[in-house]
Structure 1
Amino acid sequence: MTVQPPRIDRRPAQRAFHGHLFEDPYEWLREKESPEVLAHLGAENDYAEASTAHLGPLRETVYEEIRARTRETDLSVPERRGDWWYFARTVEGGAHQSFCRVPAATTGDLLADWTPPVVEPGTPMPGEQVLLDADAEAAKHSFYALGSFDVAEDGSLLAWAEDTTGDERFVLRVKDLVTGAVLADEIPGVFYGAFLSPDARSVYYTVVDDAWRPHQVRRHELGTPVAEDVVVAQEDDPGLWLGAGLSADRRWILLEAACSEYSEVRLLPADDPGAEPRVVLPRTDRVLYEAEPFLLGGREQILLTHDHEAPDSRVSLMDPADLGRPVAQVALRDVVPAVPGERVHGCAVTAGHLVVSVRAGTTLRVRLVPLAALAADPAAAAVEPAFGEELYTATVAAAEFDAPVVRLSYTSFTTPPRVYDVFAAGATGDDDALPAEPLLRREATVLGGYDPADYTVERDWATAADGTRIPVSLVRRADLDPSVPAPVLQYAYGSYEHSTDPAFSVSRLSLLDRGVVWAVAHVRGGGELGRSWYEHGKKLHKANTFTDFVAVTDHLAARPDVDERRILVMGGSAGGLLVGAVLNLAPEKYCGALAAVPFVDPLTSILDPSLPLTALEWEEWGNPIEDPHVYRYMREYSPYENVGARPYPPVLAVTSLHDTRVLYVEPAKWVAALRERSTSGHPVLLRCEMAGGHGGASGRYAQWRDTAWEYAWVLDQMGLAGA
């Protein structure tokens, strides 16, 4: 018996802008609280389950493979802060982490004092304290996620914020780590990133406006009514978000108003929170920058990571006497000058070093500049830890101001995540006693006999219609016969200057071991090749993102080791927009399409400033409300509005009811339109997580099951369901 999809009524609705009238018969699905809409989403889930019932055994197999390869009872590498080592435990059967600490010794032997203690999985350490058992808290709810976790500098208090619905509105709480008591202070409706003041007497937090834009930073004095909380800063420009944090040396509160194109940072003394914040560079200069005040040779300096006269950014020193002046009047001394082809992503400060994150040759890497050398020569040479792979990702995991070590995270497509500690030369005056090379503290364990030599990674290049070369990363099993064409899962994101960097995935092994080639198309709109790569894939250049992807598909299809009939497109969020646009451009090139929380009705959303994040999105897509040209351009690529009589492949769309970033209604409408217009007769499925947000369900086991569900569907479209 053939399973039939839910019936979806067409109901009259119109959208009128700039002389254009759009008929939108499925807009009624936006009524989230409507019993009829909820019943429809439930029917979609039932249809998706019934249509794929034959994949139940494969889903269970893939789930068990993921679980069998994962060390379920495990822990993170302890990180030292002050007098404590902090780490997190996971236990078999537990979906969330338990956050712990043990006392740290200070003997004067730097190598010993900064060598993490050996903590055994499942075995408590002497003096171990559990700060927060997130697994126990999650057991009380159908959804659980943390948005903040901060311990006071003296280790006396913990501030954390939790979301129990998936809508990313958090409740902030504070715990006395000496007595174990949770304080009466409880603040609902906070955003990410709350933190305690250096004196542990107050907590700073951010709240959002009705459009889900972070617009206020508030200070709550512990023990006082929440109604008396002070608004430290407010951002009234609907196109900017507001955030706050502490400077590395914890002397300053940093208040940042920003978008992806420019920013404005204000400095507030941490010991005088009632003072008037001082602007670093005014927003009218439209400079995109980050600021870090610190002492260099006993003299106050401002470290700027900025794009003034440097599209890929540079790092400069600024005299505090120039605070608030236009950038043209500021004498900037370069520490990391602009280098063609190298994108500077950020710079951290420790007591002994600058730690610079740089993208070169598409890969993220870390460089260290000793402050002692910097004081004498602003152009002091940087040192970059070397690694043996061509394609990898190295990032700063921790750079505590007073620590003699910098902690790095490292991974690649075939190397499980590693943690390295680098003893920064020149930080202690006793360099001969410290190791010069990065110390490997941990490599994530992959159970079941994983061997990276069983897999290969290749960098290929496709060519777009305008001649632009597009990098492509390919991962496969090493023992695949190159003379036998293989199926390909082609993935991309391509927005917000977000790069799809090399990273290891346990779940991906279930695809690779069945002969699937994982291909990442590093299309324009991402950041893999610098700021211009992003600029040429946004606003009125957005179509490059989609045509680049199709060009990569054509390039792969022409390879003798690729089966052109079994290429499947996959993307999520803005990458889901890519999936929808690509299917409208070339549906016949793909054997299936997996779109996770897909942004497939972008024009409707961007035209409504009352929706979450809409005004902030204008910097990425343009403002179609004010600009008819932007409206026309977006209308030409909007997936939902351009669904036509085409032979669409099988489609699986995944969404969450409480997603506040991409509302569930977008894929719901898109699926309805695809079913109505597709000429192929292939099934179009919608799975809606009824207790989740933008990241889907909470907890690792639920996420593994969701991944297994999706991968089983992918394998089925490739004819590998029996593999």
Structure 2
Amino acid sequence: MRISPAICAAFIVVLAACSSNTSEVPMPEKIPHTLNIHGDERVDDYFWMNDREDPRVIDWLNKQNEWTEKRMEPMQGLKASLFDEMRSRIKEEDSSAPYKDGDYWYYYRYEEGHEYPVYCRKRGQLTAPEEVLLDVNGLVGEHEYFAVRNFAVSPDHKLAAYGVDTQGRRFYTIYFLDLETGRLLDDRITDVTSNFEWANDSKTLLYSVQDSETLRMDRVYRHVLGEPKDTLVYAEPDDTNWLWVEKSLSSRMFYLVSAATVSTEVRYLPADTPLAEPRLFLPREPDHEYFVTDGVDRFFVLSNDNARNFRVFEVPLDNTARDQWQEIVPHREDTLIEGFDIFKDYAVLSLLENGVVQLEVMPRGAGETYRIPFDEDVFTAYSDDNVQYDTHWFRYGYESMTTPESVYDFNLQTREQKLVKEDTVLGGFDRANYESKAIVVPARDGASIPVSMVYRKGIKLDGTNPLLQYGYGSYGVTIDPSFNSDRLSLLDRGFIFAVAHIRGSSKLGREWYYEGRQLKKMNTFNDFIDVSRYLIDQGYTSPEHLYARGGSAGGLLMGAVVNMAPELYKGISAAVPFVDVVTTMLDDSIPLTSGEWDEWGNPNEKEFYEYMLSYSPYDNVERKDYPNMLVTTGLHDSQVQYWEPAKWVAKLNEYKTDDNMLLLKTDMQAGHSGKTGRFQSLEDTALYYSFFLWLEGIRE
């Protein structure tokens, strides 16, 4: 067969382009590092990247960023227009739903053109003059990352405490603000968490502290305003447990919660006497999770003792021994009790019944139990800003995949309901143009996987729809079907958005979680893949139009899925992905490792090691074709260290046999949650939206 000179020349150009692209990919140095355990030897050529102080690491991350910018340069116009489009839907001058605490109404608001909130209050009634308490915009200065967390007003309403992080590593400085003069007190608490609570004397603060290396929250201290030295209240000795402090809605008690993934231990002390020693509520036991609050005259306990989906008990204040617990809400096989709010006259239970959210109202005295009614089939509802104990008004948030976030006040006695605020979506949004529904997908082992989806009305199931499938599937966290105005930029361009409620979540109860953890973790990945195949088979999409995204533990999901079934996806977005599972879980000097053994298993035990090794994304990279991939991380990430995605991308570039895009974007100023600021965070969304749309051939 004779090949024409024109075809030959074109072929040479294509080859040169491919060769040029490949040669330009910045590849890090390979320095073999041998890891031995259980008689197994692994060689990690990129282990040396686990040192953020090494200038070679920073140099390579910067070069990767330059490479990514170059490859995404044709998408910059699309990315910019997406950013502008998403921002245009946001009402710039806006405020939160005000809530009443004591004599004041508290809220925060945003001003046009500004990124950060302004905390405010009004005394007596909402028509009263506004008091500006803290304008975060005036604090940012030259910081590229700036986060204020837990703006907490003292019980006497004269002071506020708040935490500030300027790096993204989640080490905060706690400041104290005099609300009457607007001046900061001299007191400072540095390098701590944003978990803190005021005592009832309005001068004592209990706060939690993390280990400087492992980042595990392991101590609670007491700070008294004006005193030079803080006092240790309790230190958690078990390095698999986290420790934090809570305060009950009644304001009667502090609770010090020591928790591993599937066990807890609680201590308590009166908030009126914060100098007292904490008392143990009930000693911890393996696989026993319990959570405590009070109703002034008694304790209430949510416990999974002989109840996988939890049940509720009343316990006397003077004797918390297990034989004193009286069951008031029994276990239900089809209903997970996720939490409760205890008021003076009522309790409100947050439930998941067959995967559907319910808010169940239970009088503390005589009266019938009932549920707050909802109109939609696919939605979520949750307790929100309940700060008063002696009230009949319960505040909850509500949203669906077609209904913007709304805040309601519900009278528990009269059942009157008031809409306090619904988020405004600018730009001509009409919920009637969109449709959401729930489907059930059969898994390969016979399980039924719930899926929530939303799309513009009128789609045809002909396999041509672009579809973004999202998943998480770890820690029992359920991704509820919620609203996101940014998502309209995909839906209006023909995308379907689907959330796969895979095992590892608690969507169908606590057993659904247990079926996706430790030695059953593979169910999580198989479920996601089975949902993808079903969506393809039913004509919702096809491999040429299917995209997937997950972050953190959901990034692990993405890493496992592209190793197991890369042919199903056109593009993948993995945000701050946990992909070097075995090596990380073997090194308890790495932040958070020991506290994660309860979720994944401890690879120091051979059975767990071999099972984790079978799915760890970094360890299972092979010489084969992979889909287009965009991987994002933050240099200061405190949850998933930057080197995991960095090493993964390096190895993928070494092994993959395709010409698809593989891009790594490292935010050199941010941590696990990405950029701060109301609009700055849209840049991250515009980045991966433009990536998917470009692959789909959509240019505007």
| Cα displacement string for residues 446-470 of structure 1 (whole angstroms, at most 9, x for unaligned residues) | 0011111111112112111111111
| Cα displacement string for residues 67-110 of structure 1 (whole angstroms, at most 9, x for unaligned residues) | 111111110011100010000111222111111101124xxxxx
| Cα displacement string for residues 302-348 of structure 1 (whole angstroms, at most 9, x for unaligned residues) | 1001101110001111123432x3x3xx1432222211110001111
The correspondence of residues 297-696 of structure 1 with structure 2, limited to 5 A, is 300-323=297-320, 325=321, 327=322, 330-373=323-366, 381-399=368-386, 400-425=388-413, 431=414, 436-483=415-462, 485-625=464-604, 627-696=605-674
How far apart are the structure 2 equivalents of 1:159 and 1:617? 31
Determine the structure 2 residue equivalent to 1:114.
none
Conserved? CA contact 2:602–2:608, under 8 Å: yes
Determine the structure 2 residue equivalent to 1:697.
675
Conserved? CA contact 1:289–1:307, under 8 Å: yes
Q: 1:483 to 1:685 in 2, by over 3 A?
A: closer
Conserved? CA contact 1:148–1:195, under 8 Å: no
How far apart are the structure 2 equivalents of 1:603 and 1:65? 42
Per the TM alignment, residue 559 of structure 1 is displaced from its structure 2 partner at its CA by: 1.2
Equivalent residue letter for 2:62: G
How far apart are the structure 1 equivalents of 2:142 and 2:206? 27
How far apart are the structure 2 equivalents of 1:44 and 1:515? 32
Per the TM alignment, residue 60 of structure 1 is displaced from its structure 2 partner at its CA by: 1.0
The correspondence of residues 213-224 of structure 1 with structure 2, limited to 5 A, is 213-224=216-227
State percent identity of aligned pairs.
Answer: 37
Equivalent residue letter for 1:294: G
How far apart are the structure 2 equivalents of 1:269 and 1:419? 32
Per the TM alignment, residue 9 of structure 1 is displaced from its structure 2 partner at its CA by: 1.6
Per the TM alignment, residue 406 of structure 1 is displaced from its structure 2 partner at its CA by: 0.9
Q: 1:398 to 1:700 in 2, by over 3 A?
A: closer
Conserved? CA contact 2:233–2:277, under 8 Å: no
Conserved? CA contact 2:461–2:538, under 8 Å: no
| Cα displacement string for residues 400-449 of structure 1 (whole angstroms, at most 9, x for unaligned residues) | 21333111000011100000001120xxxxx5xxxx33211111000011
Conserved? CA contact 1:556–1:564, under 8 Å: no
How far apart are the structure 2 equivalents of 1:254 and 1:610? 28
How far apart are the structure 1 equivalents of 2:283 and 2:697? 58
- Secondary structure of the residue aligned to 2:282 is coil
How far apart are the structure 1 equivalents of 2:209 and 2:108? 28
Check if 1:234 corresponds to 2:221.
no
Determine the structure 1 residue equivalent to 2:135.
133
The correspondence of residues 152-231 of structure 1 with structure 2, limited to 5 A, is 152-209=154-211, 210-225=213-228, 228-231=229-232
Count of matched residue positions in the alignment of Structure 1 and Structure 2: 678
Per the TM alignment, residue 292 of structure 1 is displaced from its structure 2 partner at its CA by: 1.2
How far apart are the structure 1 equivalents of 2:672 and 2:480? 21
How far apart are the structure 1 equivalents of 2:123 and 2:312? 37
Report the more deviating stretch, 588-597 or 145-154. 145-154
Conserved? CA contact 2:199–2:274, under 8 Å: no
Q: Which residue of the other structure, out of 48, 51, 57, is the alignment partner of 2:68?
A: 48
Determine the structure 2 residue equivalent to 1:706.
684
How far apart are the structure 2 equivalents of 1:252 and 1:572? 36
Check if 1:101 corresponds to 2:79.
no
Equivalent residue letter for 1:166: G
- Secondary structure of the residue aligned to 1:276 is coil
Determine the structure 2 residue equivalent to 1:428.
none
How far apart are the structure 2 equivalents of 1:30 and 1:266? 37
Check if 1:77 corresponds to 2:70.
no
The correspondence of residues 268-307 of structure 1 with structure 2, limited to 5 A, is 268-284=269-285, 286-295=287-296, 300-307=297-304
* TM-score between the two structures when normalised by the length of structure 1: 0.92
How far apart are the structure 1 equivalents of 2:619 and 2:368? 53
Per the TM alignment, residue 235 of structure 1 is displaced from its structure 2 partner at its CA by: 0.4
Per the TM alignment, residue 646 of structure 1 is displaced from its structure 2 partner at its CA by: 1.5
Q: 1:546 to 1:561 in 2, by over 3 A?
A: closer
How far apart are the structure 2 equivalents of 1:338 and 1:382? 16
How far apart are the structure 1 equivalents of 2:286 and 2:272? 30
Conserved? CA contact 2:462–2:541, under 8 Å: no
Conserved? CA contact 2:473–2:504, under 8 Å: yes
Determine the structure 1 residue equivalent to 2:14.
none
- Secondary structure of the residue aligned to 2:508 is coil
Q: 1:620 to 1:484 in 2, by over 3 A?
A: closer
Unaligned runs of 5+ in 2: 1-16
Conserved? CA contact 1:587–1:646, under 8 Å: no
RMSD: 1.4
Conserved? CA contact 1:486–1:561, under 8 Å: yes
Check if 1:244 corresponds to 2:245.
yes
How far apart are the structure 1 equivalents of 2:478 and 2:676? 24
Conserved? CA contact 1:13–1:23, under 8 Å: yes
Determine the structure 2 residue equivalent to 1:120.
none
Per the TM alignment, residue 576 of structure 1 is displaced from its structure 2 partner at its CA by: 0.3
Determine the structure 2 residue equivalent to 1:23.
43
Per the TM alignment, residue 579 of structure 1 is displaced from its structure 2 partner at its CA by: 0.3
| Cα displacement string for residues 682-701 of structure 1 (whole angstroms, at most 9, x for unaligned residues) | 12100000110100111122
How far apart are the structure 1 equivalents of 2:152 and 2:641? 30
- Secondary structure of the residue aligned to 2:420 is strand
Per the TM alignment, residue 635 of structure 1 is displaced from its structure 2 partner at its CA by: 0.5
Determine the structure 2 residue equivalent to 1:61.
81
Equivalent residue letter for 2:180: V
Conserved? CA contact 1:193–1:206, under 8 Å: yes
Per the TM alignment, residue 497 of structure 1 is displaced from its structure 2 partner at its CA by: 0.4
Per the TM alignment, residue 561 of structure 1 is displaced from its structure 2 partner at its CA by: 3.5
Per the TM alignment, residue 285 of structure 1 is displaced from its structure 2 partner at its CA by: 6.5
Determine the structure 1 residue equivalent to 2:260.
259
Conserved? CA contact 1:148–1:162, under 8 Å: no
- Secondary structure of the residue aligned to 1:548 is helix
Conserved? CA contact 1:147–1:191, under 8 Å: no
Conserved? CA contact 2:204–2:274, under 8 Å: no
Per the TM alignment, residue 484 of structure 1 is displaced from its structure 2 partner at its CA by: 6.0
How far apart are the structure 2 equivalents of 1:126 and 1:303? 38
| Cα displacement string for residues 123-167 of structure 1 (whole angstroms, at most 9, x for unaligned residues) | xx7521111111221234111112322101121110001100000
Per the TM alignment, residue 631 of structure 1 is displaced from its structure 2 partner at its CA by: 0.4
How far apart are the structure 1 equivalents of 2:222 and 2:697? 57
Equivalent residue letter for 1:395: Y
Conserved? CA contact 1:48–1:685, under 8 Å: yes
How far apart are the structure 1 equivalents of 2:550 and 2:439? 20
Determine the structure 1 residue equivalent to 2:54.
34
